[in-house]
């Protein structure tokens, strides 16, 4: 393959890119970064060791039993699917709505989406007693089953999310191929291969913009489908707590909320540790804070709707399920999730002082933790209240308490996703370089007009 000629930019664009590259081009990790990577690798390794034990001994090392076949693995799966929707929220919905301020967050949202959806799929495999038979899903899966629908939409969403991450990055990859100096040969070769002979010609730019627009439009219904179909895994049953027509919008609204919180958390981290205060400004945090409040109010509405009507009727086994949540064994966790994972963030972020980086970081972490435990509350308590009474079994069969092996394996999926994001920011600009330069050029043109 012939090496393409170095791209020539206008003098002003060259000047802007040179200034931006000092901040935005990836840099080698310092001591703190290396310790962070070591911590993620160690955690992932420990998780892998415990998973190997699970493969050897079976799911008996977990607390999953006949009465509670789904636990924190499935809770984690639903959580990862939820947070992955941030890619469509930032890259697609805000783009189509004309929110130009979203630019610094687009690549963050897409890498979070890709990492999350990869480990959503892995979480399903972790829950399988015989993961070596995973391919049976494709050979013998029944299209009537919501599980097969979920496999289809997850695969589709992963492909489109990857394309939305990769295709807009082509101009940046070409710039690094031509002008990124002082890097190892393998890294330069990586950029050369990934840049796909990009030359910044008008024809290429037109095709690029057209492809991005098509993907932006297509990913929105797929994003809604992925979490709607995930909700149908539960709603298509007659179980108390799951037998609901509200689950589709309930899951989607909650997914957008936790996805926005994930981006805010990443913004604070990158702003602080990658010295990007000029790119993640107070105005960006103010707008993301307002967005999170709106999404939280929408989710609060569906949350009230999900519990108020069943609580008003209190019919049969549904009554036992709700009492377990409201005043029973799960009550402390349930009310903590409602208060600290939703009510407190809404109240704090309603005020301008609350929409600053530090308070927003705290509120976003509360939202993320609340979202994870909310998925646990959706999955587990329902399984404790089947229509056929559980009788003549040991007491510990009636309850589900995740074992330390389950917790470590689950933690490994989180650190694995963080490791993907960490490797990405080590190799690629986390803020779009060429797109930011184009916006600077556009702003300068408007000022002089």
Stretches where the chain sits below pLDDT 50 are: none
pLDDT at 116: 94
Asked if the structure places residue 363 within a domain, the reply is no
- How far, in whole angstroms, is CA 115 from its chain's centroid? 7
Phi, psi for 344 (deg, rounded to 5): -60, -50
Helix or strand or coil: residue 385? coil
C-alpha span between 347 and 359 (Å, rounded): 12
Asked if the structure places residue 307 within a domain, the reply is no
Place of tokens 């897409």: 110
DSSP character string of 317-364: HHHHHHHHHHTSTTHHHHHHHHIIIIIHHHHHHTSGGGGSHHHHHHHH
C-alpha span between 378 and 79 (Å, rounded): 11
* Total number of domains constituting the chain: 1
Asked if the structure places residue 292 within a domain, the reply is no
pLDDT at 378: 92
pLDDT at 3: 61
- Per-residue burial over 403-431, b if 16 or more Cβ lie within 10 Å, else e, is bebbebbbbbbbbbbbbbbbebbeebbbb
pLDDT at 122: 93
Whether the CA torsion 319, 324, 327, 333 is positive or negative: it is negative
> Domain of 171?
31-59+67-236+404-439
Cα distances (Å, whole numbers) of residue 139 to 308, 376, 387: 42, 31, 33
Closest CA to 241 of 301, 313, 307: 307
Asked if the structure places residue 125 within a domain, the reply is yes
pLDDT at 5: 67
- How far, in whole angstroms, is CA 139 from its chain's centroid? 29
C-alpha span between 376 and 383 (Å, rounded): 11
Asked if the structure places residue 374 within a domain, the reply is no
Question: Any idea what DSSP says for residue 278?
Answer: T
pLDDT at 448: 66
Asked if the structure places residue 348 within a domain, the reply is no
**Rg of the Cα atoms in the chain:** 23
Cα distances (Å, whole numbers) of residue 351 to 289, 342, 378, 436: 10, 15, 31, 30
Asked if the structure places residue 46 within a domain, the reply is yes
């Amino acid at each position: 393959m012939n090496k393409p000629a170095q791209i020539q930019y206008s003098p002003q664009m060259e000047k802007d890119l040179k200034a931006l590259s000092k901040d935005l081009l990836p840099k080698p990790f310092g001591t703190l970064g290396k310790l962070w990577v070591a911590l993620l690798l160690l955690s992932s390794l420990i998780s892998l060791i415990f998973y190997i034990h699970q493969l050897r001994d079976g799911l008996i090392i977990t607390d999953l039993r006949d009465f509670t076949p789904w636990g924190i693995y499935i809770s984690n799966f639903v959580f990862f699917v939820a947070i992955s929707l941030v890619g469509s929220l930032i890259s697609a919905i805000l783009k189509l709505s004309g929110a130009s301020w979203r630019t610094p967050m687009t690549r963050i949202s897409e890498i979070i989406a890709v990492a999350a959806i990869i480990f959503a799929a892995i979480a399903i495999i972790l829950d399988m007693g015989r993961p070596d038979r995973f391919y049976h899903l494709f050979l013998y899966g029944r299209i009537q089953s919501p599980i097969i629908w979920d496999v289809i939409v997850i695969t589709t969403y992963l492909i489109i999310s990857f394309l939305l991450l990769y295709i807009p990055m082509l101009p940046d990859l070409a710039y690094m191929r031509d002008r990124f100096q002082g890097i190892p040969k393998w890294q330069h070769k990586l950029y050369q291969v990934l840049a796909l002979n990009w030359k910044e010609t008008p024809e290429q730019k037109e095709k690029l913009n057209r492809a991005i627009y098509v993907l932006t439009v297509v990913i929105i219904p797929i994003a809604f489908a992925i979490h709607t179909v995930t909700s149908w895994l539960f709603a298509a049953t007659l179980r108390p707590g799951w037998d609901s027509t509200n689950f589709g919008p309930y899951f989607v609204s909650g997914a957008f909320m936790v996805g926005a919180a994930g981006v805010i958390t990443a913004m604070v981290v990158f702003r602080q540790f990658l010295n990007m205060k000029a790119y993640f400004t107070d105005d960006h945090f103010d707008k993301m804070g307002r967005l999170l409040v709106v999404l939280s109010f929408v989710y609060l509405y569906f949350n009230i709707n999900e519990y108020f009507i069943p609580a008003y009727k209190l019919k049969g086994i549904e009554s036992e399920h709700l009492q377990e949540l409201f005043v029973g064994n799960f009550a402390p966790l349930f009310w903590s999730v409602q208060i600290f994972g939703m009510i407190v963030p809404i109240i704090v972020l309603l005020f301008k002082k609350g929409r600053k980086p530090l308070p927003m970081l705290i509120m976003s972490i509360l939202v993320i933790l609340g979202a994870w435990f909310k998925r646990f509350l959706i999955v587990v308590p329902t399984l404790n209240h089947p229509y056929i009474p559980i009788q003549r079994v040991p007491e510990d069969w009636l309850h589900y308490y995740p074992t330390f092996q389950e917790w470590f394996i689950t933690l490994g999926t989180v650190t694995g996703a963080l490791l993907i994001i960490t490797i990405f920011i080590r190799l690629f600009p986390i803020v779009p370089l060429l797109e930011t330069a184009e916006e600077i050029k556009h702003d300068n043109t408007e000022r002089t007009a």
